Structure 1
Amino acid sequence: MRGLGLKLQELAPTLWGVLAAASTTQSLTFEVPEMRRDRSLVFTTVCAMMSILRSQKANNFQAIIALFLLGSGASKREIEVFAHAGISLSYKLGMNYLDTLSHKGALQFRAVWRVFMC
């Protein structure tokens, strides 16, 4: 974790500075350092949590797997197992994603229809 913390501090100095500023209080300067948790370890953990969240929100692989599972007739329970493992979107998110794609497809079809029919 130490090596990762140093690498994060080098690659994301702004984020590291924001975390340092947010975690520093007036009473922190008067406390005994041994009584506090290692700030570097806490900052590294926060950065790891943020990267996992970003990865989950911007991962088309999970959406593709969810669409495959929905299309192949997998049960809700099976889809939820894959979602808990981080491999797929949940059943509800998969259905929402499918609805969004259907809506966008219908709008695109209407636009093409208008161009070629008029």
Structure 2
Amino acid sequence: MSRYFTEDHEWVDVDGEIGTVGISDYAQGQLGDIVFVDVPDEGKQLSKGDEAAVVESVKAASDVYSPVSGTVIEGNAALADEPALVNGDPESEGWLFKLTLTDPDELGELMDEAAYEAFVAKL
């Protein structure tokens, strides 16, 4: 499985043609305590850069953009009852949605973990 990051602090884990999307640990740290998460519905078509989800914290609401194009196959239902999963484990149990990739070539435009860590270090 390969993980890629965007400059907007989303990550996508890719396993075959399935991508699992969430926000980075850096992003959840900037947001603070997360109190609500709105994930996209199954079947929703997303293009790279589309608003896909909303994460609300005690500080602000923040849009989450799709790092790649695809069709949503699942939203993380656990977040409805426990949005704090995004704070506690943003890069694993706190994932937001899964999608079937429609253009795997888009992954080449994203950062790998080392490049993302260097990007965050400059912020």
TM-score interval for Structure 1 and Structure 2 normalised by the shorter chain? under 0.3
The TM-score with structure 1 as length reference comes to 0.19
Q: Larger C-alpha radius of gyration, 1 or 2? A: 1
Which has more helix, going by share of residues? 1
Which has more strand, going by share of residues? 2
